[in-house]
Every structure is written in structure tokens, then in C-alpha cells.
Structure 1
Amino acid sequence: MTLHPRLLLLSATLALGLGGTLAQAADSVPFRYLASQGGLSAYELADELGYFKDTGITLENVGYAAGGPASLIALASGDVEIGSAATSAVLNSIAGGNDFVAAYPSNGINDEVQSIFYVPEDSPIRTIKDLAGKSIAVNTLGAHLDYTVREALHSVGLPSDAANLVVVPGPQLEQVLRSGQVDVSAFGYWQTTFEGAARKNGGLRAVFDDTDVLGEIAGGFIVLRRDFIAAHPDLAKIFVEQSQRALDYAREHPEETKVIFAKALAERGENPDLAQYFRGFGVRPGGKAVDRDLQFWIDVLEREGKLKPGQLVAKTILYSADSASN
């Protein structure tokens, strides 16, 4: 998968603009990233809260990612310093030779925050078994929703490719479902803003969500390159700790977070009204990961033959202060 040319052009344009307008201190290190439409990451929230002030960390938004795999491609190529993707995509990328570290969970799925698979109210689709032969809109292939569908189908004894996945950008998920272009639209755990707006408009019914299939688990991770951590160990530590602090802030101050979210969306030229539907990041207190967050998907990938048994070990992938030497 490659970044869409329009995204690359936007990235380049924004990078040039930012480079000309932001005077960097001599000891400041840019942390470039690709934003998610309708979303706000913990590190963006941390920056808005002033957690990176005078730390030497300067965040630079250089465009939008078409999905987690595209974010990882940009990270591997050195176009950005921060990646973000579903756990399955991160593991696939590491298995493919990229020396990445899972810094902290970007989001989690639980009773409050999850990916929801919607159909029109009059749809004959009632259960996971009914997905066979149906079309499902997802934001990208090879990431969380893709693997959630595979695991859902496996859980009811169907082939993992029994449904047809269609790539649809988050802002269009509701439209393609209501117009009948797809049978199901999957709103990811990071797209609660789009899901909330669609639900408010009525006429839709949830078939299942990813907690029904996966349980409570981290949905994805913020990812850093190991060589970048080695070059900037102190800044990497600050970045992770202050981002985790922002995750706690969002859980403890949901309404204040929505105000910050709306401001960030407006500054990016997106609809700030979407912020009212933000339901949180869904991560554990402290923003920490546990081994199961990675091991669940390691086991799935081993079962599917995409990983050799023992090829990846959760504890060597998760960030620690000595990640650069692991």
C-alpha cells in the first residue's frame, strides 16, 4: 500500500508551510506525523495542553494518513517520526522487517469505546453469520477492522474471507451505507465522532462491535522507530510519558477534552461539531499496555501462518526506557 498522491502533495505543502512559519529552537526536535480525519491523538492533546512546552519536542502535522498502514509506510521511509496503526498492522510491519517500537496504546476498546458495525434498520443482516457474501465498508485494508472481520467470521466457523471489504474514508461511511452502496459500515474505535453523528441521524442498527469478538484490548498503538529512540532517548521518554498523561486527562476531563478537540478540528479545516461525539480513548489508566494487547494478535497471525511461532515476542516490541538497545 502507498500513500495517495494527493496526501503526499498535501503533506509536502504543509511541511513547507510549517518549515517557513515555525522558528525551531536550536535544540528542538521535530516530531512529524500524519493526522487522522475526525480524530485527535493523545500526543496532539498533550501538545494542546502544553505538556511539551520547553521540552525540545515540536509536533508537526504534515497531512493526513489514509489509514494505519499508510502511517507506518511514512514512518518506515522517514517522512514522519510518529506512526499510528492497529496492532495487527504494527505486528505485520515489524514482521516485514521494520524496527518499530509500540510506544503506547493509541486507543482501546471497552464498554465505552469500540468499533461498531452498522446496517440500515430494515437490513436482513442480524448476526455475524449473516455477513457471508456481504459488502462491508472499512477505512483501510490490513488493519484493525479488516482483522476484526476476519476474527468475527472465524468465530462462527466461516472462512476469514467470506465477506467483501470495501475501502471507504471515515467521512463517507454513513453516506455509502444509507445509499445502499455497501451492506455494512464499520465505524472504527477511533471514529466515534463519525459514528455518533450517524447514530444521531437515526435509521441504523448495530449488528456487533469489536468487543464482542476481541474483548477488552488495545485497538492500536503509537509507533516510533527504534533508531529514532536511540538518537533521542530523553525526548522519546518525555513524548511517551506526556502522551500517557494526556490519555488520563481525557478520561478525567471529558468535556474539556471535547472543547480542545473541536478547536483542533476547526484549525484543520474539519467540522468542529463532530467533537461532541468523542467518547474517549478507551485505554487503561496510565495509558499502559499489557502483554495481551499484542499477544492476542500475535497468536492470530501465527494461526494464519503470517508469523512463525515465536517470531515476535510482546515484551520486546513494547516501549521501555531501554527500547533502543532491545
Structure 2
Amino acid sequence: MQTKHQISARALTAAALLAVVSMAVSSCATSSQAASSNPDGSVVVRYEGGANGVNLPELAEDLGYLQGIDLQWVGNNTSGPASIQNTATSATDLGSAFAGAVVKLQEAGAQITAVVSSYGSDAASNYTFYVRDDSSIKEPKDLIGKSVAVNTLGAHSEAVLSSYLRRSGLTEDEIKQVQLVVLPPSDTEQAIRSGQVDVGALSSVFQEHALAQGGLRKFLRDVDVYGDFNGGQYVLRDEFIAANPEATRTLATGIGKAADWASTHNREEVVQRLKSIIEKRGRGESTEPLKYYRSFGVSEHGAIKDEDFSRWGQWLNDTGIVEGEITPGDYYTNEYNDLAVGK
């Protein structure tokens, strides 16, 4: 089992990580390029995807919503914080992460801005914490001294769990005794079943696969804490936005259109479209996980709201990232999403 990280140590961990990222941003600021263009005038946008799955930019491209954009895949990534760090340091042009991670990176000095929602939680698609059927964990206090698997520190699952425990009346000392274990989503289900961890956070196809096998019991859903919400955003570097306002508009609006397309078409049609995208790109992937697809969870044209950031204010205070109330408008803009501004 991997090393356990206690909630009490996360502020120091986050601070150290952000210091490294801040230095990386500074070191590449003079050498990074806002974007590159092809001879036909199309703007190259480098991004990371996920194996055996399709994200909203890929769907938008396939639907014809990214005219003038040359979307270039540079690899896969399962960590939101790492995704937007890569964007901030010019390793990619487009990244996606949980809203709290976006705030963290900007507070560290990264010149990035969120332009459209990237994922969300609703009744069909959400982050859920599971335990084994025979687990004694049934209420918040039962988590004291227990281990919880999350895919990365400083992201969605950690923030939801921390907020839930605090709302449930646990003291800071008690919360510090809840141990977080970083595991890739592909390993979390087995870790719960084998007893390597007491609780594990699962979403999307990993959650659906686990449920299909039986033997696990739901402990907590993020929608039980917050209701339906957009949890993360796609970000671009500020220099990219300044140099390529029309490409930025095409990206933000196209991704918003793709989210709307997925939410307004029946599941079978969406799955067939996603399957065709995977097959056409020829990366030797499996389309089998698509049978577990439920939704992208993104609502209202991918428009970003103040509450998408403000709901994490207490957690951001507790982890020492910001002091006092945050100003959501400092971290995002809907200016380039024509659907969000009614154009």
C-alpha cells in the first residue's frame, strides 16, 4: 500500500508543490509560446486525454464545433492538478481540473484562467465514496483513524470529504486522523475490496464497474453534500487568451456546445458517438468501458458560476491557500463562451 497522507499535513504538501510550480512558471515565462499556427491558419491546441475515454474537447472536435482549431493530443493524464500545471508551464495549451485546484495554482502565481466547465456531478454521474458491504463505517465519526483512497491530493475528492466531515461536526483534531491514500482510479476498487484502504472515492466508469461487481456499499456522494454542480473547469494560459481571442472563443463555446449535445441526446446515441471517436483515433484502446457511461455532468452550456469557486472557500482557508473570502471572478471568465453570455 502506498504511503498515507494525513489531512493535517496537506497544507504543507500543497505549499511545497505550489512553490515548485511557481518557480516552473517563472522559469518558462520568457520562453513559452502563446500558441503555434499551421500554414492554413488553424491554431494548434495541445491537450491531454484519458485512455479508453473521450473528453469534451474531443467530442466538440468530432461534432465540428472547433473550426480553426487543430486539437493535438500529447498523452493521457488522470490528475487534474497535474493537468493544469502542464498548461501553466506550456507543456500543453488546455488543461482541466477541480475548481479548488485552479484557485491553488493561480494563488501560486500561475497566469491561467478558467473559461468553461469541464466536468460536473449530478444524479447520473458523481463522485462517491465506497466501503465494503461488511465495513463497520456507517457515519462520519467512523472515519476517524481510517484510510481513504483518492486519485490525487488537493482536488475534488479531498475537498468534498473535508467539507463533509466539518459539516458533520468533527473537530479539527478528529479530521486530522482521517488518512488519505493516493491511488490511481484503476486501482481503487481492488484496494477497497482487499482491505488495503477502508474507503475509496470512485467516479465515472470506475464507479459503474465497481457497482456491477457488487460487494461495495455507498458511504457518501458529493451531490449529497452540494447537490448538482459543475466541479471543474478547462483553463488556458492568459498569454494564449491574449494572443488568440477568437481561438479561445471557439474552444470555450465549442466545449459548451458539446456539453449541451451530450446532455440533450439519448444515452445510446452519445455512447455510439464516443465509441466511434475512440475507434477512429487508433490508439489501441478498448471501448468496453463506455457501457458504463452515464453523463459528463456539465450543466447550462458549461457556463461557470461564482458558486463553482465560492463553495470551496472554507476548504481553501483550512488548507492555507487563501485567507478570508475568495473573489470567484478572479479565477474565471465566461466572456469567451458565447452560450454563457447569450450570443
Q: TM-score, normalised by structure 1?
A: 0.85
115-124 or 38-47: which moved more?
A: 38-47
> How big is each residue's C-alpha offset from its partner over 1:235-262, in whole Å with a ceiling of 9 and x where there is no partner?
1001110110000111112322212223
Provide the aligned C-alpha RMSD in A: 2.1
312-321 or 288-297: which moved more?
A: 312-321
> Who is 1:148 aligned against?
160
> How big is each residue's C-alpha offset from its partner over 1:243-288, in whole Å with a ceiling of 9 and x where there is no partner?
1000011111232221222344454433311112111111223221
> Who is 2:185 aligned against?
170
**Structure 2 residue 289 is matched with structure 1 residue 274:** yes
Unpaired segments ≥5 residues, structure 1: 3-22
1: CA distance between counterparts of 2:176 and 2:52? Answer: 29
137-146 or 106-115: which moved more?
A: 106-115
**Structure 2 residue 115 is matched with structure 1 residue 103:** yes
258-267 or 123-132: which moved more?
A: 258-267
Equivalent residues in 2 for 1:49-68, closer than 5 Å: 49-52=63-66, 55-68=67-80
What is the percent sequence identity of the aligned residues?
36
Aligned 8 A contact 1:139 1:167 in 2? yes
2: CA distance between counterparts of 1:319 and 1:198? Answer: 37
Residues 138 and 43 of structure 1: CA distance in aligned 2, closer, same or farther (over 3 Å): same
Q: 1:186 aligns with which of 188, 192, 201?
A: 201
1: CA distance between counterparts of 2:300 and 2:218? Answer: 28
> Who is 1:260 aligned against?
273
Aligned AA for 1:91? Answer: V
Q: 1:127 aligns with which of 130, 139, 149?
A: 139
> Who is 1:36 aligned against?
50
Aligned 8 A contact 2:159 2:312 in 1? no
Aligned 8 A contact 1:176 1:182 in 2? yes
Aligned 8 A contact 2:304 2:333 in 1? no
2: CA distance between counterparts of 1:145 and 1:43? Answer: 23
Q: How many residues align?
A: 297
**Structure 2 residue 106 is matched with structure 1 residue 94:** yes
Aligned 8 A contact 1:132 1:162 in 2? yes
> How big is each residue's C-alpha offset from its partner over 1:96-151, in whole Å with a ceiling of 9 and x where there is no partner?
11121111111111222210111111111112221111111111111111111211
2: CA distance between counterparts of 1:179 and 1:269? Answer: 30
Residues 124 and 268 of structure 1: CA distance in aligned 2, closer, same or farther (over 3 Å): farther
Aligned 8 A contact 1:39 1:193 in 2? no
> Who is 1:12 aligned against?
none
Aligned AA for 2:140? Answer: I
2: CA distance between counterparts of 1:302 and 1:91? Answer: 11
Unpaired segments ≥5 residues, structure 2: 1-16, 19-36, 338-343
2: CA distance between counterparts of 1:135 and 1:279? Answer: 28
1: CA distance between counterparts of 2:102 and 2:52? Answer: 22
2: CA distance between counterparts of 1:205 and 1:292? Answer: 30
1: CA distance between counterparts of 2:142 and 2:51? Answer: 30
Report the Cα offset of residue 302 of structure 1.
3.0
Q: 1:283 aligns with which of 275, 295, 298?
A: 298
**Structure 2 residue 315 is matched with structure 1 residue 318:** no
Residues 219 and 321 of structure 1: CA distance in aligned 2, closer, same or farther (over 3 Å): closer
Aligned 8 A contact 1:105 1:222 in 2? yes
2: CA distance between counterparts of 1:183 and 1:111? Answer: 24
**Structure 2 residue 262 is matched with structure 1 residue 250:** yes
Aligned 8 A contact 1:150 1:161 in 2? no
